[in-house]
Chain A
Amino acid sequence: MNGLPDLPTKFDVIIVGAGPSGSSAAYLLAKKGFKVLLIERGRGLGDKNLYGGRVYAPPIREVWPQLDKEAPIQRWVTKERISMVQGDKAITFEYKAEKKISFVSYLTQLTQWMSKKAEDAGALFVTEVTIDEIVMKDGKAVGVRSGPDFIEADVVVDAEGVNRLLLERLGIVERLKPDNIALGVKEILKVGANNIESSFNLNPDEGVAWVIMGDITKGLPGGGFIYTNKDSISMGLVLHLKHSIDFIQNGKFDEHVSKLIEEFRFHPYFKPYWKDAIISEYGAHLTIEGATHFMPQKFAYPGLLIVGDAAGLLLSTGYTFRGVDYAVYSGKLAAEAVEFARNNGGFTYENLQIYDKNVRSSFMYNELFKHRGAEQLMNDPILMSKYPSILIKVMEKMFEGEYKQETVYDALMQALKEEKVGPFDLISQAFGLVKSI
């Protein structure tokens, strides 16, 4: 093929994509002595990774027990904030947590750390290569093709991420539709560690995760986020794509999305946290909303396991987003399934199906179904503009009366009336919301 007869062209496992799921699977399999080929399209490790900013540690520690000591952790999240914003007005809840459950990290650095470990464990790690096709033979995945080159494997692990070009080409999933997809746009603002600790009132290794609802998105369904890194702030917006298209169609949105994030950066309530810090990086990535609709029919096919974002394993409740830990955990389950198959007579479909079974009985699947519908409510334009608006109005009537101050009850009733929401609607909708998010 290339005049190179001595080269390995057959592996036990080929993993497409060196993000958190692919790197974790590669690391575990290489440690168990499998001949693993890990393929990444980016030039360096982590080049193509982007996410909000926060990672939940417990499931990751199951694969990476050295996480707390060695991983490039920016800050542990000890403060949770939720804000509702209307115009210049804002209500903020803050919760000071005790346990270190989640941390803020640059995903570029975290995946660098993981994929380096996978390579050190013995996985053959190749960068700068884009895979064109997962090759099927008699209904079974037998390898991958990139340009003219075909490499064979007993098992292919698809860790290609949210843009499932390979799975679409195989016909395993449909063309990506905007219905269950949101766009995340993000800026990194260089602020300085001291400024972060004083303005957020934090100890040196502590951080804040902050979710913002209300008209920070100019009415587009979605929300804002702020995470504190060591010396910079990650901030940005998540916009539901289907609703955004509807808004454009109805003439309710005719600006460029970058204008929204810039207005967020200059919002008088948030701007003091970063003043005029320069933008170190600007980026965007798609994320899944409504994972249960996004999932492929099966997680295991003959010769093929689907992990991470490609498998739709991302929880979005509106106030938490868990993708990285789910990705790592699915990588672990995939590695275990491959090992199970080897120990039980071979990489047959029957043996590999244990991956499908284990995903479905995992905490991830359970959580995704428990919270299904949350994203629909969180993205309901009426709901998500009305509630913040009612709350803000209540506050306004309680605190901004120049002579007269309303009782909480009167303030609430007046606000409901102004927003044309009956008290019983409020109770039933609030109940629906609380039940799913």
Chain B
Amino acid sequence: MRIIVGMKWVPGTTSVRIDPKTGTLIREGVPSIVNPHDMPAIELALQLKDAYGGEVIALTMSPPPAIRGLEYLIGMGVDRAILVSDRVYAGADTLATSYVLAKAIEKIDKEIGKVDLVVFGQETIDSSTAHIGAQTASWLDWPYIYYAHSAKLIDNNKILVERVLENAIEDWEVDLPAVIATHMKALKPRPVRLLNKIRYKVEKPLTTWTNNELKLDPRCTGLKGSPTIVAKTVDVPEVPRKKVIYTPKDGEDAAKWLIKTLMEDEKASKALIKALKEGGGK
């Protein structure tokens, strides 16, 4: 199987801090990380490779610092990585991004070898649109399954994908090639391995494609190819949080304590009663 896995290099939002004087976000020195929701996708791709052989190629459209993220993925066991990077791709919304990704996937399919599966994460932590998987599948005209928890090959060109929803588990048979997006809690990623990191340093299995290679119409990429308009952004002020630690005797005790504590708080009790009413008092 040849599997492509998408990755986004995002600012680590758990590390975004608020300047106590101005109340605005401090961005200085905030390191970027591999989008955490991409991790289950990478793990799924690697598990499929472990089971059926083949190769996993990581793909990202990003400025060059994302190479650090691709290195991490190769450290986990991804075979090689492709960075798609060009000034004309800058400022892209999800439509223009998915267009470039789809074209890169087509190029891989044509030049490197037949692509069987593309795996994305559920969404990114910095924009949370969850568009990329669906849009890329649309450009490619391939089937798309999201909230995937696991997948297995059922014959040479079909996979069985398990989706776990709130109240149901669904199994879908899908013809390959296909695009799937994993649920953010689907799989725990494997750690980085020493041998893989040595391989990264020795072999540098990393390719960069600019628009010289992809040859896309610049009107369809970057800011120009992006119909989305960001009208306004508002920094949400930090809400002071109360922290209480309670060690319950058992589950029942925990539930009783939680409800009692929430009911003592004016705002929380209102929200709780509203939620209970809407939920039919269950």
A residues touching B (Cβ–Cβ < 8 Å)? 1-2, 4, 7-9, 37, 39, 43-44, 124-129, 131, 146-149, 151, 278
Contacts and interface: CB of A to CB of B under 8 A. Distances in A.
Contacts of B226: none
B9 interface: no
A45 to B, nearest CB: 12
Nearest to B29: A280
A147 B198 contact: no
B241 interface: no
Nearest to A47: B31
Interface of B: 19-21, 31, 72, 75, 191-199, 201-203
A7 B72 contact: no
B201 A129 contact: no
Contacts of B193: 2, 129, 146-149
Given A129-B197, A147-B193, A151-B194, 10 more contacts: A2-B195, A2-B199, A7-B195, A39-B194, A124-B202, A127-B197, A131-B194, A149-B195, A278-B19, A278-B21
Given A278-B19, A278-B20, A126 B202 contact: no
Contacts of B20: 278
A128 B202 contact: no
A2 B196 contact: yes
Given A278-B19, A278-B20, A278-B21, A128 B198 contact: no
Contact of A126 (B19, B31, B191, B198): B198
Given A124-B201, A278-B21, A4 B195 contact: yes
B199 A126 contact: no
Nearest to A151: B194
Give chain A's interface secondary structure class: loop
A14 to B, nearest CB: 10
A7 B202 CA distance: 8
B265 to A, nearest CB: 26
B198 A8 contact: yes
Contacts of B199: 2, 4, 7
Contacts of B203: 7
A128 B198 CA distance: 11
Nearest to B77: A2
A39 B195 CA distance: 11
Contacts of A8: 198, 202
5 contacts: A2-B195, A2-B196, A7-B199, A9-B198, A148-B193
A126 B194 contact: yes
- B31, B201, B202, B203 interface centre (most CB from chain A within 10 Å): B201
- B19, B192, B198, B203 interface centre (most CB from chain A within 10 Å): B198
Nearest to A2: B195
Contacts of B202: 7-8, 124
B198 A124 contact: yes
Nearest to A125: B201
A1 B203 CA distance: 17
Contacts of A151: 194-195, 198
Nearest to B19: A278
B194 A149 contact: yes
8 smallest beta-carbon distances between A and B, as pairs: A146-B194, A149-B194, A126-B197, A149-B195, A2-B195, A128-B192, A129-B194, A124-B201
Contacts of A2: 193, 195-196, 199
B38 to A, nearest CB: 16
B195 A128 contact: no
B27 to A, nearest CB: 13
A128 B72 CA distance: 8
Given A128-B72, A128-B75, A278-B19, A37 B192 contact: no
Contact of B198 (A7, A44, A131): A7
A147 B194 contact: yes
Contacts of A128: 72, 75, 192, 197
B279 to A, nearest CB: 41
Contacts of A146: 193-194
Contacts of B201: 124-126
A129 B75 CA distance: 9
Contacts of A129: 75, 192-194, 197
Contacts of A43: 31
A49 B75 CA distance: 23
B52 to A, nearest CB: 14
Contacts of A278: 19-21
A192 to B, nearest CB: 14
Contacts of A147: 191, 193-194
A82 B75 CA distance: 48
B23 to A, nearest CB: 12
Contacts of A148: 193
A44 B20 CA distance: 28
A130 to B, nearest CB: 8
Contacts of B192: 128-129
B193 to A, nearest CB: 6
Contacts of A7: 195, 198-199, 202-203
A127 B192 CA distance: 10
A37 B197 CA distance: 11
B137 to A, nearest CB: 31
A33 to B, nearest CB: 18
A9 B72 CA distance: 20
B40 to A, nearest CB: 19
A129 B191 CA distance: 9
A147 B191 CA distance: 9
- B75, B192, B195, B197 interface centre (most CB from chain A within 10 Å): B195
Contacts of A9: 195, 198
A44 to B, nearest CB: 8
Nearest to B75: A128
A151 B201 CA distance: 15
